[in-house]
Amino acid sequence: MDVIMPQLGETVEEGTVAAWHKKEGDKVAIDELLVDIETDKVATEVPSLVAGTLVKILVGSGQTVRVGTTLAIIDSGDSAGAVAPRVPSASAAPLSPAVRKLVADHGVDVARIKGSGRDGRVKRDDVLSYLQKQPATTATTRAVAEIVPFSTLRKRIAEHMVRSKATSAHVLQAVEVDFSGVDAARGALKKAWKQRENTSLTYLPFVARAVALALPEYPHLNAHVTGDSLTVYRSINLSIAVDLDRDGLLAPVIKNVASLQVPDIARLIARIAERARSNALKPDDMTEGTYSLTNNGSFGTFITAPVINQPQVAILSIDGVHRRPWVVTDEKGERIEVRPVGVLAHSFDHRALDGAYSAAYLRRLKQIIESREWADEFLG
């Protein structure tokens, strides 16, 4: 019997013999490991389909040959012809890599599925349709609860995020920040703010104000990549990520924040978030953003590596603020105090700027948050 190079994917035309587990003259049993095959898409262990003696190896380890090439000859004592080794999750017709993975993940016997493709090939939709019809108790490894089609919004988000990762050279930097000054202002003001404004006074508007103060010193972060150039903007327009009650994410824009103080920014954030969640945004609310903020801190996150909002060059994540031991250094020396500490995580586009520029900006942002008299912003 001839052992031939198997088809390991419908677009794969050749494979490489990685290693033989038997040598010429060795006895082989049915399903005993025979050879390792590699392609540019997959690596797999190939067992023997017959019992017999490996009489000749025609393709040595490290050699690459086309699909259908005879790799070896096994004397099985009968007149069997050329047979392709059986590979895991293979079917009578070639399966695409996506279908092979889906079948393997759900422990499905491909022979039970009627293929709708050419020559009866099983397609992804065939597998999904089969799974939907099966009771949960029949699943061998993972029971499928449901298959949730992407909404139009989720499709747009997916396309935007994938495009951003493919476009920008993402780099993440982060700093720990002592939010004692912010907490002091929030503690003194949040109850009256809640009664008057009917919204919570969160960390987000304080960080947004600090960003508006720091960006003029680092203007290349308030910019867009346009071709082989960096377009730097004078106005600071903050795109604020808004969670639509877990149905998706939008980033409406608060414009011209440079001259606004914390109360104004807090009101605008609450207003635009409400419009986003009630599907009342106007087209202008989604345009002209120059820098983005995303706030995951309410969920207690430690650090988030946000994806850049194209064509912007940077985005800042505000993560959870937790009370932690913190080394305080002043004229009295060093001591440990319990302080509210959070992480600001900054993703930037390495095409547009370098790490030192982003790091200097983060240092300045940290200085502003830790040293500013935040209660003064609410006077008058």
Residues taking part in catalysis? 350, 354
For helices 180-197 and 355-371, the axis angle rounded to 10 degrees is 70
Whole-number Å distance between alpha carbons of 273 and 259: 21
Residue 256 Rama label (left phi>0; alpha psi -120 to 50; beta): left
Whole-number Å distance between alpha carbons of 109 and 115: 13
Whole-number Å distance between alpha carbons of 259 and 236: 10
Count of CA atoms in the C-beta half-sphere (13 A) of 47? 12
Whole-number Å distance between alpha carbons of 236 and 217: 12
- The encoded tokens of residue 48 equal 């023997």
Find out whether 256 and 237 touch, Cβ atoms under 8 Å: yes
DSSP string, 281-347: --GGGGS---EEEEE-GGGT-S---PPP-TTBSEEEEEEEEEEEEEEEEETTEEEEEEEEEEEEEEE
